[in-house]
Amino acid sequence: MQEGLDDGPDFLSEEDRGPRAVNVDLQTDATLQVDISDALSERDKVKFTVHTKSTLPNFKQNEFSVVRQHEEFIWLHDSFVENEEYAGYIIPPAPPRPDFDASREKLQKLGEGEGSMTKEEFTKMKQELEAEYLAIFKKTVAMHEVFLCRVAAHPVLRKDLNFHVFLEYNQDLSVRGKNKKEKLEDFFKNVVKSADGVLVAGVKDVDDFFEHEKTFLLEYHNRVKDASAKSDRMIRSHKNAADDINRIASSLYTLGTQDSTDLCKLVKVSVAALQKIESRVAADEDLKLADLLKYYLRESQAAKDLLYRRSRALVDYENANKALDKARAKNRDVLQAETSQQLCCHKFEKISESAKQELIDFKTRRVAAFRKNLVELAELELKHAKVTMT
């Protein structure tokens, strides 16, 4: 089955490539346009062909493509996060790992059960499985693309050198995935960070805007997490129900082939139509609603991170102030304290400024994305319901 799915181009070309900038509403800028033109699925990795069209001078050509893997996207994301310069910006969240495990399991089960099923059942299940695989594939491509587009649209991040390397460097970036030690380090860093976050969160902010944003984001993040989980469950049940309808349809079909009454033919036709609709409804809900929520889950996490960084900077600033006062009082290391205070102050202000803008942007983006998706969701549901009626 892997062979059949290796011809990546077929997947992307035949569908309308509309649902790409699904979760963000971006102004595409002529100076830098990035998209994923192609994707290839191999044994356990997906190779994306990143295609860039740019009029910027620092690129050697105007249009070029490279092949990238998921790890390289992660590397790019991490490089942004670790860069102090970008502390004041919401870093676009990294795309999730392409997860074909579920499909692979099903494929295995299908292979094992091949002997026990009738030919029609087998082909039908195979088709279902392929459709599922295709859906997951498209989703992961979309996620990666969104990440790149966000970076490209961001006025500051798009100028990042790593980004340019990512886009242009023809050969393998030889980014290795984090080995165990590094993963452990990451884990500890996260723990420290969250503890710190709790401490820092207690500090009251001078600026009302940020205070408000903090409370808002916290609450929002939690609720989005909840909604995302619930919508996942709902869609899973829906898919289960659709699967059942499939099975019923096939049983009715076999029943109908025995009974030559036209009753069963009628039933066959209607149930077959119904089953397709139900599974498509489930899939669409999945795409529009669940993905939206998941994406904003990650985004709000990123925004929270931004605020955390800012609060941290504020705390640092205040600490520096205190140190300065102390130094002045003791009249020792004043210069040092002053410089550090200046640094902190500068950093803090920089962050505050950009953060404000970022958060406002975040809100606009969010509103627009929700609008788009909800509208599409409603339209699709209507379409399906109307089709079922006929």
Partner 1 sequence: MTALGKPPDSPPQLSLCQSAVRQCVCVCVSVSYPPSSQSTMADTARDPPPELSDFQELQDGEDLFPEPSAPLESGPASLPAEDISTNSNGPKQDSLFDDDPEDLFAEATEEVSLDSPERDVLLSDGPSPAITPITPPCSLITPHIDMFTHCSFDEIEEEEGGDSFDMHISVSDPEKVGDGMNAYMAYKVSTKTSMSLFRSQDFSVKRRFSDFLGLHSKLASKYLHIGYIVPPAPEKSIVGMTKVKVGKEDQSSNEFVEKRRSALERYLMRTVKHPTLLKDPDVLQFLESSELPRAVSTQALSSAGILRMVNKAAEAVNKMTIKMNESDAWFEEKQQHFDNLDLQLRKLHASVESLVCHRRELSVNTALFAKSAAMLGNSEDHTALSRALSQLAEVEEKIDQLHQDQANADFYCFSELLGDYVRLITAVKGVFDHRMKTWQKWQDGQILLQKKREAEAKLQFNNKPEKLQQAKDEMRELEGKVQQGERDFELISKTIRKEVSRFEKERVKDFKTIIIKYLESLVQTQQKLIKYWDAFLPEAKAIS
* Residues 27-46, mask of contacts with partner 1 (x by CB under 8 A): --------------------
| Listed residue (329, 333, 351) closest to 341, CA to CA | 333
Rounded distance, CA 103 to CA 7, Å? 18
Between CA 135 and CA 355 the distance in angstroms is: 36
* Binding of residue 127 to partner 1 (CB under 8 A): no
230 contacts: CB under 8 Å, gap ≥ 6: none
Q: Which of 270, 319, 336, 342 binds partner 1 (CB under 8 A)?
A: 270
Please state the three-class secondary structure of 344-390 as a single string.
HHHHHHHHHHHHHHHHHHHHHHHHHHHHHHHHHHHHHHHHHHHHHHC
Compute how many other C-beta atoms are within 10 angstroms of the C-beta atom of residue 195. Answer: 10
The answer to whether 251 contacts partner 1 (rule: CB under 8 A) is: yes
Q: Is 371 in the site for partner 1 (CB under 8 A)?
A: yes
Which C-beta is closer to partner 1: that of 286 or that of 316? 286
Q: With both helix axes pointing from N to C terminus, report the angle between 180-201 and 291-330 in degrees, rounded to the nearest 10.
A: 70
Alpha helices (runs of H) in 286-333, residue ranges in sequence order: 291-330
Instruction: Write down the least CB distance from residue 315 to partner 1, Å.
Output: 26
* Beta strand 63-69 pairing with 32-41: unpaired
Helical (H) or strand (E) element with 69: strand 63-69
Closest among 175, 179, 270, 290 to 225, alpha carbons compared? 290
State the minimum distance, in angstroms, from the CB of residue 51 to partner 1: 32
Asked if 255 touches partner 1 (CB under 8 A), the answer is yes
The residue range among 76-84, 179-187, 237-245, 352-360 that interacts with partner 1, by the rule CB under 8 A, is: 237-245
Using the rule CB under 8 A, is 254 a contact of partner 1?
yes
Q: How far is CA 163 from CA 90, 100, 254, in A?
A: 16, 27, 57
Q: Which is nearer to partner 1, 267 or 287 (CB)?
A: 267
Beta carbon of residue 342, minimum distance to partner 1 (angstroms, whole number): 36
Q: Return the residue of 129, 135, 274, 345 that touches partner 1, per CB under 8 A.
A: 274
Stretch that binds partner 1, among 21-29, 332-340, 342-350, 366-374 (CB under 8 A): 366-374
Query: Cα(289)–Cα(228) distance, rounded to whole angstroms?
Result: 8
Q: Indicate the residue among 50 and 293 with the shorter CB distance to partner 1.
A: 293
Cβ nearer to partner 1, comparing 234 with 334: 234
Q: Does 64 bind partner 1 (CB under 8 A)?
A: no
Under rule CB under 8 A, residue 283 binds partner 1: no
Applying CB under 8 A, does 272 fall inside the site for partner 1?
no
Place of tokens 């989703």: 139
| Shortest distance (Å) from residue 116 CB to partner 1 | 13
Binding mask 188-227 for partner 1 (x = CB under 8 A): ----------------------------x--xx--xx-xx
| 361 is a contact residue toward partner 1 (CB under 8 A) | no
Distance CA 76, CA 138 (A): 22
Residues lying near partner 1 in the complex (CB under 8 A) = 216, 219-220, 223-224, 226-227, 230-231, 233-234, 236-238, 240-241, 244-245, 247-248, 251-252, 254-255, 258-259, 261, 263, 266-267, 270, 274, 363, 366-367, 370-371, 374-375, 377-379, 381-382, 385-386, 388-389
